[in-house]
Amino acid sequence: MTSSPQTLIDAIPFLQDLGIEFINMEQGCAEVALELLPRHMNSWQVAHGGVTMSMLDIVMSMAGRSLDPNARAGVTIEMKTSFLQPAGKSGERLLAKGRAVHRSTTMCFCNGELWNGDRLVAQATGTFKYLKRIAGADGP
């Protein structure tokens, strides 16, 4: 049984707490969004870097996972993030886009971008290990 993409987000309390919104996940690509709130800000009143990295991490993992409906989980092995400019202020909306660029039997290499409107604010690369679903096991 394949879990829905929203179920993947709902199964992770941290992503629920952030307010991550599922947009799309198919054919090696994924998108998630977030409406920035005061709780997402750092001391300079721009989005905290952890928000940026969390969005990029989940969207890349989802992009890779979209290629394998039998994957039970995607574990981040390595991630590099480049912060190009402040991500945004409270009230603005961020959109993260992920793309799988190479997939082996158990690993996937992905790219991610974080956008605030037409501004590219961060980009990332990541390597993910995918765990296979165990027959009869529940879970996202």
- Domain extents for the chain? 5-132
For the entire predicted model, the pTM comes to 0.89
For domain 5-132, give its CATH number from 3.30.450.20, 3.10.129.10, 3.30.420.40, 3.60.21.10. 3.10.129.10
Q: Is the pLDDT of residue 79 over 60?
A: yes
Q: Which residue has the higher pLDDT, 104 or 11?
A: 104
Mean pLDDT, residues 5-21 = 84
User: Which residues, including other chains, have CB under 8 Å from residue 32's CB and lie 6 or more apart?
Assistant: 9, 20, 21, 22, 23, 55, 58, 59, 62, 95, 96
Residue pair 131/72 in contact (Cβ under 8 Å)? The answer is yes
Predicted local confidence at residue 1, as pLDDT: 33
Q: Which of 25-39, 66-80, 115-129 has the lowest mean pLDDT?
A: 66-80
